[in-house]
Amino acid sequence: MLKPSPAAELVEAFTNTIDLESGDDDVATPGELARWLAGRRLADESLRLTTEEHRVFKDLRAGIREALDVADPVSPHRLALADAALAEVPVLVTLNRSTWGDRPQPLVPAPGQAPAQAALAYLAIGWAEVVLTGQIQRLKRCAEHTCGWVFWDSSKNNSRRWCSMRVCGNRTKSRRYAARRRDTVD
């Protein structure tokens, strides 16, 4: 079974901080986002985010979610906001292993960044790794339009479409069946 890298797990967790179906948002406030980042060791527990910094993280989250959606038309606006957030993140490519810390890769946040920018840089680095390593083919957004949950496709042939066949897959198939029955009755 193929397992996601830590970068893929990070991107998946970040995009799933919002439940589109219920509207629950684990990072709805700057304080909640700061705690989420600290909980993943992307920032110190003392991090205090401004409203603007919070908005930038949410723009990035919406853009990543949008980039993973292959079923619906992509929103250029959401992608542009996420790209604008990424354009402001200075990332350093380094050969110095001592700067890698516990993240074994040569990409690190550039030195001297504000704590919020460094946390954003770690998310950007995670996204870059997922794309560059081809893991983006396995990190998917649920095809059930009311769900949108991001999941890791561990199927052998990379064909999984729903986060849960029992819930979202069944919901989609039931809707299609009902539509076919209506069409044949009319």
Phi, psi angles (nearest 5°) of residue 48: -125, 120
- Helices 51-67 and 30-39 pack at an angle, to 10 degrees, of 60
**pTM (two decimals):** 0.84
Q: Cβ of 62: how many Cβ atoms within 10 Å?
A: 19
Indicate the pLDDT class of residue 97, thresholds 50, 70 and 90: low
User: Based on C-alpha coordinates, what's the Rg of the chain?
Assistant: 19
- Reported as a single tens digit per residue, the pLDDT across 28-69 is 999 999 999 999 999 999 999 999 999 999 999 999 999 987
How far apart (Å, rounded) are the C-alpha atoms in residues 179 and 100? 54
Distance of alpha carbon 117 from alpha carbon 170, whole angstroms? 41
Give the largest Cα separation in the chain, rounded.
70
CATH class belonging to 6-185? mainly alpha
What pLDDT band is residue 20 in, cutting at 50, 70 and 90?
confident
Domain boundaries, the chain: 6-185
- pLDDT for 94 equals 79
Sign of the torsion formed by the C-alpha atoms of 22, 27, 29 and 35 = positive
Ramachandran area for residue 145 (φ above 0: left; ψ -120 to 50: alpha; else beta): alpha
DSSP letter, residue 128: H
Distance CA 95, CA 88 (A): 23
Q: Is the dihedral of CA 107, 108, 111, 113 positive or negative?
A: positive
